[in-house]
Structure 1
């Protein structure tokens, strides 16, 4: 058990932070608890000799990896992202589905407002106003359609804003991790790309002559 712990700690120290696997939770069975209790006293020597917080982090992460190996649990693949972490979150997929359905409904409502009375369009419009007292034959149906379309557009904007907040937070999280592991690489990624077509401009006299020729 001690040899497994030492090997795991050495591997963790030599592995960049972004390449560490994301460890899932293990079942809290009696056997797993016993393994953790057996490893805890062994960590005292390593923690007392730790020089900084980064080394302490490597020791604790290595101990977690050792627990996985001892109990025979399967470790996720390395590379900084597991299939679960790289996949689209379930809530984001739900929002994307809502946005797609809302856009499709806006298209049907707009088509009906423009005079398209096909059975499929009419059926969709009736479903959109289901549970309300709005009838498709009432005089102000055009106004009701416009209000419904505006409401859907506002919902799409709110959902899109939430997804942008998530993307921005994820971008900052990845930048923070990259800063801890490779600052030079981070600074290179932050460099602004060169503007395409940059170079000496045209002569001012030619520009004036060109625009005068248009009039």
Structure 2
């Protein structure tokens, strides 16, 4: 987590830039730049693929290490099996020597075949133990997620249990075709059905009292941000709520620019455009 002291130290420096900000887009860019500056100061890693977020399947670090061990052990078993089948290529010999490094076993002793068999069995037992560890954790995580989903949304849980799992073995759709499909769908002009009931609703709405003018204060901005999650997936701007909470000098500027946006009845695209994830 970024150092709060560094975030507080940058607050006075942002005043000059925020006072010169003309709209919400400029304020967003200033805050994003300040967030990047803090990450660089504390040495945090930054994504290099742009500011927008992408959906990815995160793998736990310890699980990745175990999977790497399994892959290396399987590769070593293959080399040892090749050497046992009288394959004396230099690369195979070098790998076998490294496998028996630190032991008193020579590659030219009479019982080397037995030693190779024992070593291969030992590696296979380790692979089985590591795989069982991962499967046990996956099963526990699956049960935990189902129990939590049962407490929060039983309907969704039952639907997930009834829905058959389809594994796509073939090639997925082309990216250009997907983009063309959704672009054509979203670009299609809207033809509303001018039904009679719409006129009735419009006439009923004429008697509704217009809403009073909204006054947004810095306290309103601070209160709205206070309830927001710190690191939940951001929008197109890539700015998390944590930075809006830390840079308190931006609250007054945001309140003023929100009022101006409401008066002008216009919002920048980063407030009205979302991110769509296509899950095959």
TM-score using structure 1 length: 0.50
| Alpha-carbon distance, 1:177 to partner | 2.6
How far apart are the structure 1 equivalents of 2:112 and 2:5?
Answer: 63
Deviations 1:68-110 (A, max 9, x none): xxxx989xxxxxxx98994101111111111000000000000
Secondary structure of the equivalent of 1:88? Answer: coil
Q: Residues 193 and 31 from structure 1, CA distance in 2 versus in 1: closer, same or farther, beyond 3 angstroms? A: closer
Bigger relative contact order, structure 1 or 2 (CA pairs below 8 A, ≥6 apart): 2
How far apart are the structure 1 equivalents of 2:35 and 2:149?
Answer: 28
Higher helix share: 1
Q: 1:152 aligns with which of 123, 128, 142?
A: 123
Q: Residues 26 and 124 from structure 1, CA distance in 2 versus in 1: closer, same or farther, beyond 3 angstroms? A: closer
Q: Provide the alpha-carbon RMSD of the alignment.
A: 2.9
Aligned twin of 1:15:
none
Deviations 1:119-156 (A, max 9, x none): 11111111100000000110000000000000000110
Matched, 1:183 2:154: yes
Q: Which runs of 5+ in 1 are unaligned?
A: 1-24, 33-71, 75-81, 195-215
Aligned twin of 1:91:
62
Q: Residues 136 and 152 from structure 1, CA distance in 2 versus in 1: closer, same or farther, beyond 3 angstroms? A: same
How far apart are the structure 2 equivalents of 1:85 and 1:174?
Answer: 18
Aligned twin of 1:172:
143
How far apart are the structure 2 equivalents of 1:128 and 1:155?
Answer: 15
How far apart are the structure 2 equivalents of 1:92 and 1:117?
Answer: 35
Aligned twin of 2:82:
111
Matched, 1:120 2:91: yes
Deviations 1:1-38 (A, max 9, x none): xxxxxxxxxxxxxxxxxxxxxxxx56465998xxxxxx
Aligned twin of 1:134:
105
How far apart are the structure 2 equivalents of 1:180 and 1:152?
Answer: 42
